[in-house]
Structure 1
């Protein structure tokens, strides 16, 4: 019995034991609640193949999907003053920045990249929503300015991809000053006769939507993206009226003339490439 108990039984149990399944193989769609296998999701550019819901993606994935063959060059942004107001809420602003820099591997909420889209050169300034909700502070303002200057110097289009909750409260009035500053940066591109294209992703809100995000020569949005200034609940409580269903979604804005087109993620590279060939020869 000892041989059966101590040797045979453990061998049988080992053969029958279920292998541990990693918990990151499946993602539940936030819209239709279908479970999506990670490989299928990646192959479909993180778009639900059941309902077409566009799942939020990292800024690195965004750039990889947009540029030809996923090839691009990152552009450095000059450092700005850290924590100019010595801000502290539940923790110091400097500590928050360290935390998000470590978490994302990025210095702030915007990455500038240069490369080819549909065979046409373009400078892209893309927001990282995972970095403090893509909030706009002085570093973001500086990044948009650097991107606009590079576009003018390279004689190519500037494409900005916002994904933001708005201004960064930890920088107070200095964050609000980035609204006119980014508008001036965009104006430099337009005065040079170069295309300025905005690709509005989920979400595009607050001071970002109230400044450079809505000034594109062509305004594109991903399907289902939330685009607006204040949140729907805040607006309803202010005006004391029931708002139309989905009034801040990309499709509603398209129907009411606020944006020019809604383009699925899979078609962005080709559609923007065609646009650039028309706008910048």
Structure 2
């Protein structure tokens, strides 16, 4: 990766997780609030922002994060990541490289990506863990500015998440891509490719949880999905048994408003996999 837009290092200082290095430059801004949770909770919160409230066409944001042994950190945002309209062939790009040490915990829980009309966005996130690391990654996208009449109206969207064990052994690789073909490309409109292919969904989630410390979250998620999944549809609890190292869930929501999710009737699990002995195992269709 070229010179990073941001660098964050979290290490143990006097027995507590502490940011020992923080660097950022335009177009990235990092905020480290001191009072987020209870004082007895040993965790660092990192807020990633962009100047102007979004990512401009041609912007390339890269960030490196290192979580030291037995440290806990959460990386999030203050609002949805807005990707503005593209100019010519320019892409907006975000790259994240994270290393998680022994018995360390990293939670990447940003607000969703919202691509404006004609936006072109490419996101790459890689995580390097050891056998005792703990990781939660939430990667999600909305259909766009729905209230402005934009629904899956972007030109290109791609998101890739890779988790490697001991630097080079792939544990989890997930790549999502949505691309609209214009009339000059195979004679089809954007709506025929993206919008028509994704009804009636307004959100897509990808959730990856790895590590023994994530077990309570895995069990909670699976209990929730067993509740909303219609009986007899082949759902199998990926957290059953005591050997699991985590789980991966792909979810879709046909309602635009997040508040509707609380009703447990609109969230649709597409597939769920289990991680046993650091190997991905598919649990249901």
Which is richer in strand? 2
Which is richer in helix? 1
Question: Given the two structures, how large is their TM-score scaled by the length of structure 2?
Answer: 0.34
Tell which structure's C-alpha radius of gyration is larger: 1
Question: Given the two structures, how large is their TM-score scaled by the length of structure 1?
Answer: 0.34
